[in-house]
């Protein structure tokens, strides 16, 4: 590693846009049940599927606005401290359901509540593990440790993991249907083997991704041909290709992006750097706003720019007669190379990055810069 060069620890909060999509969580819960828990207790599949998605109940913060969601998502429900209690809550719901069915005379076989809790606990932990694998990250040791941890080896949606989990559930059902059509009445249970195969595939796939991630970082850290001294590097995954990574490089005055191909040890650095803006009263006011404080708390590669009197795309401009500036917040992890460097053509090129935030700052003559409005992902924070 070059002297003074260090890796990004990916401790920044990755935001809602990079949250692991829910279907993968649900499929993981179903496969965990099929792997054996559904042989131990009634309600196993339903409970594990629910528990595998339960931590995302914190998305209810959406009702308080986009910045509130960014602030609180991946909060206490995504911690090791909360995991056993989240599992207990899921079991409590099924206990109430079982009691209600009992009053209707439809209770059926009594669940083994200890096994049901254990399965729900494992499913909840699977949610934390899946969220850890992408660059979004989580704070598993909160409230004792507020540091964000992220593995950054897969994208928000990984088609290979999704396909493996889905096939592990569909193929046994299709085989069972085939048996019924040909009149084979022998009792078979193919689901467990397929579920285990999918779960083992996930682990092996993560191992490959991790190896290529480490390789990409090593190429960046040990490359002496970089155009300027680099103080920090990160490698972000591509959805379909585990051998191609988006690299972020930081220097004293700029950010740079690159593409790393680990199969042939090739690094291609983008020509145009992204310059770090100088501090101004307008930028300081925007950073001290509610949106600014929350955004900079989670952004690992933040870029805050004074766009001048440019109306926020898709949003109303401030009243005429006021002097105002629009300040944009974005994280370079969630911007394509072209957009990050402003290489797209047309009005507003490169300005609609995912997870971007905007603040209107009133700079009317004789007044201190004052925040007028805050927007994020097309919604206003009231």
d(CA 40, CA 311): 59
Bridge partners, 259 (sequence order): 246, 268
Could you tell me the sign of the dihedral formed by the alpha carbons of 216, 219, 225, 231, in that order?
positive
**287 touches 303 (CB < 8 A):** no
Specify the DSSP class assigned to residue 351. -
Cα–Cα distances (Å) from 8 to 221, 235, 247, 333, in that order, read 11, 9, 11, 11
**353 touches 333 (CB < 8 A):** no
Q: How much is the pLDDT for 21?
A: 78
d(CA 270, CA 47): 48
Pair of tokens at residue 93:
């719901």
Pair of tokens at residue 51:
């528990």
**337 touches 259 (CB < 8 A):** yes
**357 touches 331 (CB < 8 A):** no
Q: How much is the pLDDT for 161?
A: 98
pLDDT in tens for each of the 382 residues of the chain?
444 455 554 433 333 444 557 999 999 999 999 999 999 999 999 999 999 999 999 999 989 999 999 888 888 999 999 999 999 999 999 999 988 877 877 767 788 999 999 999 999 999 999 999 998 888 999 999 988 899 999 998 999 999 999 999 999 988 877 766 565 555 555 689 999 999 999 999 999 999 999 999 999 998 887 767 888 999 999 999 999 999 999 998 999 999 999 999 999 988 788 899 999 999 999 999 999 999 998 888 999 999 888 877 777 777 666 788 899 998 888 876 444 444 344 444 444 567 889 999 988 766 788 888 899 877 888 8
d(CA 194, CA 206): 18
Q: How much is the pLDDT for 267?
A: 92
pLDDT tens string 79-125? 999 999 999 999 999 999 988 877 877 767 788 999 999 999 999 99
- The predicted model scores a pTM of 0.85
d(CA 189, CA 7): 47
6-7 and 232-237 as β-strands: parallel, antiparallel, unpaired?
parallel
d(CA 173, CA 163): 15
């Amino acid at each position: 590693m070059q002297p003074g060069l260090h890796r990004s620890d990916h401790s920044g909060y990755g935001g809602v846009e990079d949250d692991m999509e829910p279907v993968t969580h649900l499929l993981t819960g179903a496969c965990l049940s099929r792997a054996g828990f559904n042989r131990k207790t009634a309600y196993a599949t339903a409970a594990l599927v629910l528990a595998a998605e339960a931590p995302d109940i914190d998305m209810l913060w959406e009702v308080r606005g986009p910045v509130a969601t960014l602030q609180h998502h991946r909060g206490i429900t995504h911690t090791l401290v909360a995991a056993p209690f989240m599992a207990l809550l899921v079991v409590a719901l099924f206990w109430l359901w079982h009691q209600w069915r009992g009053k209707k005379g439809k209770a059926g076989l009594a669940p083994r509540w200890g096994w049901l809790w254990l399965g729900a606990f494992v499913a909840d932990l699977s949610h934390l593990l899946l969220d850890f694998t992408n660059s979004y990250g989580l704070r598993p040791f909160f409230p004792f440790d507020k540091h964000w941890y992220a593995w950054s080896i897969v994208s928000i949606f990984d088609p290979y993991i999704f396909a493996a989990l889905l096939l592990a559930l569909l193929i046994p059902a299709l085989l069972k249907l085939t048996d019924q059509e040909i009149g084979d009445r022998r009792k078979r249970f193919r689901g467990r083997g397929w579920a285990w195969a999918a779960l083992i595939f996930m682990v092996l796939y993560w191992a490959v991704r991790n190896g290529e991630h480490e390789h990409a970082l090593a190429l960046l850290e040990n490359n002496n041909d970089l155009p300027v001294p680099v103080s920090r590097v990160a490698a972000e995954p591509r959805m379909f290709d585990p051998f191609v990574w988006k690299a972020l490089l930081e220097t004293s005055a700029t950010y740079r992006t690159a593409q790393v191909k680990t199969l042939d040890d090739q690094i291609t650095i983008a020509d145009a750097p992204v310059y770090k803006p100088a501090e101004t009263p307008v930028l300081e006011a925007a950073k001290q706003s509610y949106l600014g404080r929350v955004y900079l708390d989670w952004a690992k590669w933040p870029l805050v720019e004074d766009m001048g009197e440019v109306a926020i795309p898709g949003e109303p401009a401030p009243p005429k007669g006021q002097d105002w500036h629009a300040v944009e917040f974005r994280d370079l992890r969630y911007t394509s190379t072209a957009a990050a460097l402003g290489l797209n053509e047309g009005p507003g090129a490169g300005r609609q990055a995912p997870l971007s935030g905007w603040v209107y700052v009133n700079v009317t003559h004789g007044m201190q810069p004052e925040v007028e409005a805050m927007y994020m992902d097309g919604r206003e924070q009231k």
